[in-house]
């Protein structure tokens, strides 16, 4: 798989650091931030292939952030992260264009599986 540019948005610094370390081991470029407003600013300046986005954050919630980021980065794939696994919230995230939703606490193998799924779904040369 070619190196991806990945944005991780989560108000929990430990989640940002964990995902950054795991994804970087696979050779991907990883940028992190801890709120929706910062994510939208970053997305205005840099192209991302994959965005991990927490649903519950102070300020702009993850679903609102997803909608704004889809306007700025329509080519990006989104994976939502939540510690509040309510079906209606997950369904709304998926309807809004998220590829998948990880429920905290998630296993690192789930992240690796998502990367493999994305690689399989991406046409060669895309």
Residue 80 lies in a domain: yes
Nearest to 31 by CA among 50, 7, 66: 7
- Section 44-51 average pLDDT: 96
pLDDT of residue 122 exceeding 80:
no
- Residue 123: predicted pLDDT: 53
Residue 30 lies in a domain: yes
Please, which contacts does 86-91 make with residues 24 or more away whose CB atoms are closer than 8 Å?
89/55, 89/63
Question: How many structural domains comprise the chain?
Answer: 1
| pTM of the predicted structure, to 2 decimals | 0.91
- Section 17-34 average pLDDT: 96
Contact (Cβ atoms closer than 8 angstroms) between residue 42 and residue 69:
no
Facing residues of 7 across strands?
31, 51
Residue 63 lies in a domain: yes
Give the CATH number for residue 93. 3.40.50.2300
Find where tokens 């102070």 sit: 58
Residue 36 lies in a domain: yes
Range of the domain at 49: 5-121
């Amino acid at each position: 798989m070619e190196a991806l540019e990945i944005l991780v948005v989560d108000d929990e610094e430990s989640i940002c650091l964990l995902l950054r370390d795991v994804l970087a081991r696979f050779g991907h470029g990883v940028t992190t931030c801890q709120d929706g407003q910062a994510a939208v600013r970053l997305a205005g300046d840099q192209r991302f292939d994959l965005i991990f986005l927490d649903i519950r954050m102070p300020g702009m919630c993850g679903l609102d952030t997803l909608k704004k980021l889809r306007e700025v980065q329509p080519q990006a794939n989104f994976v939502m992260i939540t510690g509040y696994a309510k079906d209606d919230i997950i369904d709304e995230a998926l309807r809004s264009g998220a590829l998948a939703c990880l429920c905290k606490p998630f296993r690192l193998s789930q992240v690796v599986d998502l990367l493999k799924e994305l690689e399989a779904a991406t046409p060669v040369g895309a």
